Structure formats: C-alpha cells, structure tokens
A and B are shown apart, each in its own frame.
Chain A
C-alpha cells in the first residue's frame, strides 16, 4: 500500500525534482492519465520553484490523496514562510510572472489544476492549495 500523504521540503533545486517525483507517483497511483500526470508534475514544479526562488528556501509541499464519495483526486499544499505576496491580484494576472519568459507562474498552476486557492501575509509567508480530480 502506497502512502496516502507525503511532504517534501524545498531547500535546493534538486528538491524540485523530488517533489515532481512524489507528485507523479501519487498521480499514477490515483489513476490519472498521462496528460494529467504531466500537468500535475508541472504544477508542482512551479510551486516548488517559487519556494526555491522567492521564499528563502524555506517551505514544504504537502501531498494528500483524496478519496471521497465526491471522487478521487490529489491535493497539493505549498507552504512557505517567505516574504509573502503584497498584491495577489497582480501575481495572478496573466503575463505578470512570465513577462521575463520564465515559468508558467501562478496563473499557470491554476490552469493546470482544477482548484486553486492562495493565502498570503506580508512578512509571514504564503500558502497555496491546489487540487486535481481524476476524471
């Protein structure tokens, strides 16, 4: 029996790969198709990279398999105690983080997943919750 939940601490770039790995394994176990597996891995990559680049290498990504009457899915929660985001509306705007040509940004994560929520407090950190359901 595979574990129902897991946590990866992001401190170095290599940890991003670790997080992707965990995400893909769990997605596979849950029965996600190849395309959705790739999307989940990309979303996790993006979240982990944000922690690595902007949150002083101080954050975790929690993975939880959801198995309820409503359906099966994967919940991903990225938590960091970085500087926080002062203007969430701005970072959620298309073209904001990607203007430099790097990454998909948070709007990308939102597109890759089915549910997306973000909470942030300046000076304290950011918590991003994202879910994807098996179709």
Chain B
C-alpha cells in the first residue's frame, strides 16, 4: 500500500504541476488512471489527500498556512470515508464467498432434483423450470411406469429462496419412495400431504398437481393440491379450457382427501401445467393475463412441446427484462397421433 503511494508521489506531483500551469486534459486523464490504480490497490482517500498535500508543499514551499490547515482539515474529513471503503470491501468479499457457497448448494439441488423426460408412446413432452434466484422453489418430476404410463408432478413452494428449495428435496424423495404404478394421483397427494404437514414449517405450503397418463386409453388422470390450474388445448376447436380442480395445498391440514379428475386427449391435444411464476410474471405494473400465456402457446403450436415451453419462457423472460420475479415452470404434454 505504502509502496504504491511512494512510487506515485513523483508522478502525481508532475501531473499536478502540469495541470496547475496549463489546465490540460492530458494531466486529468493521467490522474484518472492513477486514481484507478489507487482503487485497485485499496489506497484510502485520506492517503490520497495526504499525497496531494505533500505534492503541493513540494511544489509551493511558500504555501500559506491557511491552505495547509485547510488541507489537513480535508484529510480529517476523509477518514470516515476510508473506513467505510474498507468495510464495504470486507462485506463484498463476504458476499462473494456467500454467493459461491449458495451456487454450490444450488448445483447440488439440481443434481438431487434432476428428472429426465421419459419417452412415452404417442406423447410429446416439453418441460422447463427456471429459478428467479439461485435456488429453485419450483419442481417437476417425471416417472415412467412399467406398463408405459407416465407419472408427472409439478409443484411450487409457497415461500421463497433457500428454505423453499430445500423442502423440494423432501418431496422428491417421498415421491420416489412410492410404488408408482400402483398409486392413484389422489392417493399420492394424500401421502405427500402427510409428509409435508409433519415435516415442514407450519407457514410453508406446497401446491402440486400430480398426473398420470395412460397411452393405452389416451387418458390423463390428475389431482391438484391447491395448484395453479392447468389447461386443456382442444386441437379440433383450437381452444383452451381451464382444468378446474379443487384441493387444499399440501401441508395445511393433517388429513386431506383429494379428488381425482380425468380427461381424454385427442390427436394434437395439449395439456399445459404451470406454476404461478408464469401467470404472475409482471410487466412493469401490469400482471400478465393467462390469455397472454395461451396466446403465445397458440402462436407456437406447430413446434415441438419442448420448443413451445422454451418460447413461452423466452417471451416472459424478455417481458420481465430478463429478471424473473418468481420461479418459472411449465410442462406441456401433447398427444401426437
């Protein structure tokens, strides 16, 4: 630190002298560069003022006492700024350490929750989930049953950030432990509800839709635990219909029974599941209407399911100036033939 100052004193003095004599821009540029090097080397403001005093006294040995005193006064005034600068420096370092720790946790979370999109006969599947911050509080899960059926979950934790994301791991392991084929969507939700109710903080809830698709019957059965409603796209009529469901969010009450719904998918039909990060994405002060989401889907309906969800995501990411306000998750199932 001291070395940087010492090596710069001559340079500073010359720049100052040249500036006082000619007020040239070149010296100002010179001092700008010097100031950057000071910052890089954590030189404190009071030391720069002191450097200035020394240079001034060297250049003008007959400097008036008033000016000298005034310069010392300025130096004194800089001390607190110097302290603040050091404090901010330390806090910044801590922040960097913290961030990298969280990103390690986030990538661990990604590994935990990783789910591959299975190949299901006659079904085109697209899924996307993007966290607003480093850790995702949304979750989706696919599993292929022995008889070729698809099991699928989409969930959203009410509550944000790391605690929300952590509780998702629990959901995943609970789902994994169920004998998939033998269980109905409503029974799975009832089981998960007990797990969540027992293990999660009372003011944290999880909303979820669990669905099963059977290619043999072209039927989708699903149950909802207070989750954002999905949509059924009827290819024949080119229209969307909201999937009206009832059911309490997971973790609210100990014993809850869930209703099971069923729909038949025709060729080209789509079922869209999403989280409220999609419907509550905001543009400036305006909430995005569900209609807008559906319009985007309609616009890209000739694309593959994965391309559609990617397009919807890109559309809303741009709408929100590339800063998601909430985790964004969307799944599209489309019957191909």
CB of B254 closer than 8 Å to a CB of A? no
CB of A111 closer than 8 Å to a CB of B? yes
CB of B90 closer than 8 Å to a CB of A? yes
> Residue-by-residue, is B72-102 near A (CB-CB < 8 Å gives 1, otherwise 0)?
1001100110011011001100100000000
| Complex: A33 Cα to B47 Cα, angstroms | 11
A-contacting residues of B (Cβ < 8 Å)? 46-47, 50, 53, 72, 75-76, 79-80, 83-84, 86-87, 90-91, 94
| Complex: A95 Cα to B139 Cα, angstroms | 36
Cβ–Cβ < 8 Å partners of B94 in chain A? 94
| Complex: A35 Cα to B76 Cα, angstroms | 8
Cβ contact within 8 Å between A34 and B72:
yes
Which residues of chain A in 16-44 are interfacial with respect to chain B, using CB atoms and an 8 Å cutoff?
A: 33-35, 38-39, 41-42
Cβ–Cβ < 8 Å partners of A11 in chain B? none
Chain A contact residue count (CB 8 A cutoff): 15
Contact of B53 among A34, A39, A107 (CB under 8 A): A34
Q: What is the CB-to-nearest-CB distance from A29 to chain B, in angstroms, rounded to a whole number?
A: 17
Given contacts A38-B46, A94-B90, contact A111 B83 (CB under 8 A): yes
| Closest residue on chain A to residue B86 by CB atoms | A111
Main secondary structure of the interface of B (DSSP, over half): helix
Given contacts A42-B79, A42-B80, contact A35 B47 (CB under 8 A): yes
Cβ contact within 8 Å between B50 and A34:
yes
Given contacts A34-B72, A38-B76, A42-B79, contact A108 B50 (CB under 8 A): no
Cβ contact within 8 Å between B83 and A112:
yes
CB of A104 closer than 8 Å to a CB of B? yes
Cβ–Cβ < 8 Å partners of A108 in chain B? 83, 87
CB of A98 closer than 8 Å to a CB of B? yes
A33, A38, A41, A98: most-surrounded residue (chain B CB, <10 A): A38
> Residue-by-residue, is A95-135 near B (CB-CB < 8 Å gives 1, otherwise 0)?
10010000010011001100000000000000000000000
Cβ contact within 8 Å between A98 and B79:
no
Cβ contact within 8 Å between A34 and B86:
no
Q: Can you list 10 pairs linking A and B with CB atoms under 8 Å apart?
A: A33-B50, A34-B50, A34-B75, A35-B50, A42-B80, A42-B83, A94-B87, A104-B87, A111-B83, A112-B83
B76, B90, B91: most-surrounded residue (chain A CB, <10 A): B76
